[in-house]
Amino acid sequence: MRRTRTVVVSVLFLAILGILGSGFVSVAPGEVAVVRRLGRVVEPPWGPGLHWRIPLGIDRVDRIATDAVRRLTIGQAAPASADREPSAGEFLTGDWNLLRVEATLQYRVSDPVAVAIQGERAEALLPGAAEAALSRSLGRRGIDAALRSDRLQIARETRDDLQSFVETQGLGFRILGVSLTDARPPSEVAADFAEAQAAESRRDDRIQVARAHEAVERATATSRGEALRESARSEAGRILLAARAEADRFLALLVEARKSPDLTRRTIYIQSVQAMLAGVRRKLILPPGQVPDLTVLGRFTPVPPEAPITRSEGASPRKPAGRQH
């Protein structure tokens, strides 16, 4: 009897040790453990290391990888396979054209508790929500923009739209990015679209050539304009300096004229005649006291003989020269 009791106690002790030992949980690096005790979440989640939970189903532990980048393929650019619908991967653009698109979604867990509570529902909602966000983005633009210039903008809009949906539903994911891996028209019209794209490429090449020519011509015209402006500035400076010199000479002559009007007029007269005769190469021989007739040179009106030179009162008369050249 005693031996039986000892065996029973030993078995119970070992069972208790086994039950207690089964409560130890090891959490690997890069993941957390969400513990629900009788359905209620234990905060905060357990980090990497060794932990102990209450066994016998009282504590439920869900391991969630938080540093793993998850990927999801949206759509299908290739022709539909046998296991998918014929219209799989087809999206309608804003100009009522069909487009086959394939995109890759990258995301990771941002809220382990929400992912643990949502369970498989969180992963199941993502494909449909991602296709809906991509469809809305493609519906805002035409097929040409979707195939060429707006691919990055489409990916950005899809990511933002999907992130907003995830936050609203509390799925606990963070959308890292969406990339359009392929986009092409349906195979039935692929040749026509290829020809249209080739024509657009030729048009773009001509536009680039025209813009390059425009840039060269504009640079040349700008250089010529600068040269003309510099020449005009130089000419304006030269004329201004000459005008100032002439004005200064006139002001100096005015001062002298006020001091001695007769002498100034006579000096101006002689300088003018000398300047004129320098280019004529003719000689005029005049008797003493005779005023030269300058009409032979075709430039001056003859000075009246009776008043060849006006003198101010008090000025002493000067004897005329016998000859003038």
Where are the chain's structural domains? 20-67, 70-194, 223-275
In this predicted structure, what is the pLDDT of residue 274? Answer: 76
In this predicted structure, what is the pLDDT of residue 307? Answer: 42
Tokens of 312: 């101010």
Instruction: Report the chain's mean pLDDT, rounded to a whole number.
Output: 79
Identify the burial level of 142 via C-beta atoms within 10 angstroms of its C-beta, where 0-12 means exposed, 13-18 middle and 19 or more buried. middle
* Amino acid, res. 64: I
HSE toward the beta carbon, residue 93, CA cutoff 13 A: 20
Give pLDDT tens digits for 241-266.
999 998 998 888 888 888 888 888 88
Please give the Cα distance from 296 to 129 (Å, whole number): 108
Q: Which of 37-41, 53-57, 291-295, 312-316 has the lowest average pLDDT?
A: 312-316
Write the CB contacts of 56 (distance below 8 Å, at least 6 apart in sequence). 19
Cα radius of gyration rounded to whole Å, the chain: 53
- Cα separation values, 288 from 45, 279, 301, 324, Å: 133, 25, 20, 9
Q: Which CATH number fits domain 70-194: 3.40.50.20, 3.30.479.30, 3.30.460.10, 3.40.250.10?
A: 3.30.479.30
Q: Which of 99-103, 126-130, 150-154, 183-187 has the lowest average pLDDT?
A: 183-187
Rounded (10°) CA dihedral 209, 213, 216, 221: -160
Tokens of 146: 């979707």
Tokens of 141: 């633009």
Is the confidence at residue 62, as pLDDT, over 60?
yes
Q: Are strands 98-109 and 173-184 parallel, antiparallel or unpaired?
A: antiparallel
Please give the Cα distance from 55 to 19 (Å, whole number): 7
HSE toward the beta carbon, residue 4, CA cutoff 13 A: 1
Q: CA nearest 277: which of 254, 257, 297, 247? A: 297
